[in-house]
């Protein structure tokens, strides 16, 4: 076995995937998705590279949504925005094709869920504008690299998210209460988590709240709005980060005739390294 | 009135001191203290410049205490250490004389309080080694400059401090539980406070704890160990920083035949700008 093949094999073994191709290479991940060979979750693939939330809207809604993102950078950190009608985002990957490179897409019509699909080539329109937004995978990787343990990584559950009573700043037809994800830490580790994630403002950045869920409209932190119900161990405090589900709620609120997002956990895998987003 | 005199006057007016000299200039502050003209608190003087905790020990204790500081950098951030017998710390101020430049000194013999004195020229020994340690005034200034409000600044009370059950790493004869200072903030401002103070590791840096005082051995956060009892308003969480009183406790624990520190709130005023200590 060559050194390269051996390295790839060990990466796959570490991920427990055993897919028989180099799951560490974001370009190869996109190619395997494009050909239909891979249709699963993206979380364990291409470690070290940014995965993005996707929102595609008709051009008539694009400026308003861009403004919504600009006004709410913690839930909606805008990584890239396409030309109208152009299914590429070359700053995130030279060969990247937004019509085929995600394992699953979610279609909304007039703000209502209309199904998940495996490609959107047949839905693509000349006036579509695509938005790629930062995702918590990036800062979670930074937390783990800093030695912190994330419970939902360790027990294989889905990260709990909550709908708060914090209103985002509206823009045109887009409005939403802020959705947050929660991770529980000891106080000392919560402080460390603030430090680590502060370095990543383009992927949600520092937490927006900690310790007092009722102050942001969360009545029972043990009952997730989406994802799995979390375990908060005595001696830990809940820490809340702005979540990329917020722009999805905002997209539905605007009720565009058609909108397309990624399906949860089926993200856009990019060639941008997480570490390249760090400030300070 | 000249522009310079006007600026000085407005600085004094802002401080409410009206002392008739330039209280904004750290060198002048030291000169007025040296001549005996000023003997009060230093907190409102020379804004923007580092004020330091002072500890003076016989040379026989110096290496052990340096090791204690090195092992416990959050409570004991060492800014400067003198040559044996030399009462100067030129890296903190060219003319600085440790025998005369603090408004009040505290003397300990065999670890017991032996009185406060106005100068230590007659106590000085050829084997004294002086340690200047970072102080919370510096990071409090950074917090206020970042737009945060510190209650004990606003109501004129003394910052509450607490003795925790967290053992510092001992070194030789020096040991202490960690002493912490407390400031209460809303969760969002607590996160901001972590970010701001993380930039100042040489003046205690990030908090060591927040939100769960009982986890660090503080039974009643409304009852200060020293300083004034704090007010924690509903919706705020207590945030705890390592405190420069810790090395004072450690100095007493070692029971050296003589040790000298500053008297609380009567600090060593230096020519080093707070902003020059920022990292990142």
Count of other CB atoms within 10 angstroms of residue B171: 19
- The CA dihedral of B166, B262, B49, B196, to the nearest 10 degrees, is 10
Q: Which candidate from A195, A210, A215 shows the least CB-CB separation from B235?
A: A215
Q: Tell me chain B's radius of gyration from C-alpha atoms.
A: 18
- Whether residues B237 and A211 touch (CB distance < 8 A) is answered with yes
- Whether residues A212 and B191 touch (CB distance < 8 A) is answered with no
A115/B140 Cα distance (integer angstroms)? 53
Question: For testing the chain B interface, which of A183, A197, A211, A238 should be mutated: the one with the most B CBs within 10 Å?
Answer: A211
Q: Is B185 in a helix, a strand, or coil?
A: strand
Q: How close B53 comes to chain A (CA, Å)?
A: 25
Contacts of B188 in chain A (CB under 8 A): 208-209
- Per the listing, tokens 């370095």 go with A199
Percent of chain A, pLDDT > 70?
94
Please tell me what DSSP assigns to residue A147. T
Residues A191-245: pLDDT tens digits?
999 999 999 999 999 999 999 999 999 999 999 999 999 988 999 999 999 999 9
Mean pLDDT of all residues in B18-34: 93
Residues A76-96: pLDDT tens digits?
999 999 999 999 999 999 999
pLDDT at B199: 96
Is the predicted pLDDT of residue A20 greater than 90, yes or no?
Answer: no
Q: Which residues on neighbouring strands pair with residue B181, listed in sequence order? A: B161, B241
Q: How close A48 comes to chain B (CA, Å)?
A: 23
Residue spans of beta strands (DSSP E) within A187-280: 209-210, 237-242, 259-262, 268-273
Question: For testing the chain B interface, which of A164, A190, A191, A235 should be mutated: the one with the most B CBs within 10 Å?
Answer: A191
B27/B161 Cα distance (integer angstroms)? 30
pLDDT at B10: 43
Q: How close B251 comes to chain A (CA, Å)?
A: 27
- Whether residues A210 and B187 touch (CB distance < 8 A) is answered with yes
- For A22, how many CA atoms within 13 A lie in the half-sphere containing its CB? 11
Interface of A with B (CB under 8 A): 186-188, 190-191, 194-195, 198, 206-212, 215, 235, 237, 280
Which candidate, B3, B244, B11, B59, places its Cα nearest to that of B140? Answer: B244
- Whether residues B210 and A191 touch (CB distance < 8 A) is answered with yes
In a 10 Å sphere around its CB, with 0-12 CB exposed, 13-18 middle and 19+ buried, how is residue A144 labelled?
Answer: middle
Please tell me what DSSP assigns to residue A82. P
Pull the structure tokens for residue B201. 């590791």
Q: How close A77 comes to chain B (CA, Å)?
A: 19
Q: Which candidate from A188, A194, A208 shows the least CB-CB separation from B195?
A: A194
Pull the structure tokens for residue A234. 């005595």
Residues B107-152: pLDDT tens digits?
999 999 999 999 999 999 999 999 999 999 999 999 999 999 999 9
- Whether residues A237 and B211 touch (CB distance < 8 A) is answered with yes
Q: How close B242 comes to chain A (CA, Å)?
A: 12
Q: Are the beta carbons of A143 and A241 closer than 8 angstroms?
A: no
Q: Are the beta carbons of B186 and B236 closer than 8 angstroms?
A: yes
Contacts of B235 in chain A (CB under 8 A): 212, 215
Count of other CB atoms within 10 angstroms of residue A116: 14
pLDDT at A100: 98
B239/B241 Cα distance (integer angstroms)? 7
Residues A129-188: pLDDT tens digits?
999 999 999 999 999 999 999 999 998 888 999 999 999 999 999 999 999 999 999 999
Mean residue pLDDT of chain A comes to 93
- Architecture of the domain defined by B136-247: 2-Layer Sandwich (3.30)
Distance of CA B18 to the CA centre of its chain: 24
Q: ipTM, 2 decimals?
A: 0.82
């Amino acid at each position: 076995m060559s050194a390269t093949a051996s390295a790839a094999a060990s990466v796959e073994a570490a991920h427990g995937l055993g897919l028989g191709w180099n799951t560490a290479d974001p370009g190869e991940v996109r190619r395997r998705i494009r050909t239909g060979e891979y249709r699963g979750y993206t979380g364990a693939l291409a470690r070290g590279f940014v995965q993005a939330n996707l929102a595609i809207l008709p051009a008539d809604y694009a400026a308003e949504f861009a403004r919504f993102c600009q006004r709410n950078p913690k839930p909606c950190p805008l990584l890239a925005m396409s030309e109208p009608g152009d299914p590429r985002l070359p700053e995130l990957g030279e060969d990247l094709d937004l019509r085929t490179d995600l394992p699953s897409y979610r279609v909304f019509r007039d703000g209502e869920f209309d199904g998940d699909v495996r490609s959107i080539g047949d839905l693509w329109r000349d006036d579509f504008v695509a938005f790629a937004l930062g995702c918590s995978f990036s800062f979670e990787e930074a937390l783990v690299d800093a030695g912190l343990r994330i419970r939902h990584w360790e027990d294989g559950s889905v990260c709990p998210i909550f709908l708060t009573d914090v209103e985002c700043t509206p823009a045109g037809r887009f409005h939403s209460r802020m959705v947050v994800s929660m991770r529980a830490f000891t106080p000392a580790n919560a402080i460390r988590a603030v430090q680590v994630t502060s370095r990543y403002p383009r992927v949600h950045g520092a937490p927006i709240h900690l310790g007092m869920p009722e102050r942001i409209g969360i009545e029972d932190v043990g009952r997730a709005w989406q994802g799995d119900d979390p375990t908060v161990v005595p001696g830990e405090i809940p820490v809340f980060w702005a979540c990329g589900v917020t722009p999805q709620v905002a997209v539905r609120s605007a009720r565009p005739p058609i909108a397309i997002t990624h399906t949860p956990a089926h993200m856009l895998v990019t060639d941008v390294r997480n570490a390249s987003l760090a400030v300070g």
